[in-house]
Chain A
Amino acid sequence: MDTTSLIGMASIIISGLTMAIGSIGPSLGEGKAVVQALSSIAQQPDEANTITRTLFIGLAMIESIAIYCFVISMILIFANPFWRLVTTQ
């Protein structure tokens, strides 16, 4: 197997794995955050505005980790520096 197909195979497999493994943690965390926020709103409906706003900020913080994984896998597929190095040689 030559270098080109090795690099192509490795980047595609690794980008799939990055999304698969990298989205487990953030999804569990977001689920926990939403559960806690919903039960807090049920207990204190007056504070719903503050809780919802804080929930949104927290969800964005958690989701950014999944977004990092997505960016890495996009770079591996579309803008892989090693792929460019091999194909231009």
Chain B
Amino acid sequence: MELLHLDQITPDAVVLWKWKFIVLNATILYTWILMAIMTVGSWLITRNLSTEASSSRWQSFLEVVVTGIRDQIREISQQEPHQFMPFIGTLFLFIGVSNFLSFIPGYAPPTSSLSTTTGLAISVFVAVPLYGIFDRGIIGYLKHYAEPSLFMVPLHIMSEISRTLALAIRLFGNVMSGNKVVAILLSISPFVFPVVINMLELLIGLIQAYIFAVLATVFISAVVRAQHEKEELKNIAESLGGLNG
């Protein structure tokens, strides 16, 4: 069962239901289904948590996922991960699950539509100043735009916009190209070869989710970090002064 025709590059083009100006396309439908699967799944798993040695296997699975994400965030940002965990973890799990389910027939990943990836990239674009302002206040955050000199302000703004664009198009291009390559191969040699490429696409989908999460972590922690480094330097200087005195 093929949902997308060969000449449609995003699931936005598949309109399932339409009423006046409200349009329900395949992207929105599959986003809702994914949200439902992830919410209900984690609610079912975390309903009966146990701290004993004989916990359920689903609880062990979720523990592995959550601690893995937390360790990665701690290694990359060099900070305590609890403040980034809800945002970064949600991004990674949503993109990862969305790409990973792409082997199911009739499913089109929401991340293969430019609207979804742009939405995710814009949420990163908004989250960076929010984390910065919560960490050091509005003036302290705005000061970092003019960090080496005042002439750097337009360059900083340019880099924020261009990296948001790059985040969106990178994810969209990778997922969409994977689907398109599989579809084209299916129409040329529909027996064994598409399966191999599909397995490669599962790997690439997870790597893209990882990269999106890592880049979001890097952007956010770059804003939050400078402050803490100054405090650490001050602490070190004070302890050194104490030693000398």
Contacts and interface: CB of A to CB of B under 8 A. Distances in A.
A53 B76 contact: yes
A16 to B, nearest CB: 15
A60 B170 contact: yes
A73 to B, nearest CB: 10
A12 interface: no
Contacts of A70: 173, 177
B170 A64 contact: yes
Contacts of B107: none
A32 B180 CA distance: 28
Contacts of A68: 169, 173
A79 B9 contact: yes
Interface string A56-86: 1100110110011011001100110000000
A53 B208 CA distance: 13
Given A64-B173, A71-B173, A53 B214 contact: yes
B227 interface: no
A71 B175 CA distance: 11
Nearest to B163: A61
B115 interface: no
B220 interface: no
A78 B76 contact: no
Interface residues of A, number: 15
Given A56-B211, A57-B215, A78 B8 contact: yes
B9 A64 contact: no
A74 B180 contact: yes
Nearest to A68: B169
Contacts of B173: 64, 67-68, 70-71
Contact of B169 (A53, A61, A67, A78): A67
Interface centre among A64, A75, A79 (most CB of B within 10 A): A64
B14 to A, nearest CB: 14
A68 B165 CA distance: 11
B7 interface: yes
Contacts of A79: 9
Contact of B170 (A67, A74, A75): A67
Contacts of A60: 170, 207-208, 211, 215
B108 interface: no
B200 interface: no
A74 B76 contact: no
Contact of A56 (B8, B166, B174, B210): B210
B176 interface: yes
Interface in B2-61: 7-9
Contacts of A61: 166
A56 B214 CA distance: 10
A56 B208 CA distance: 10
Contacts of B92: none
B174 to A, nearest CB: 6
5 contacts: A56-B210, A57-B214, A64-B169, A71-B172, A71-B173
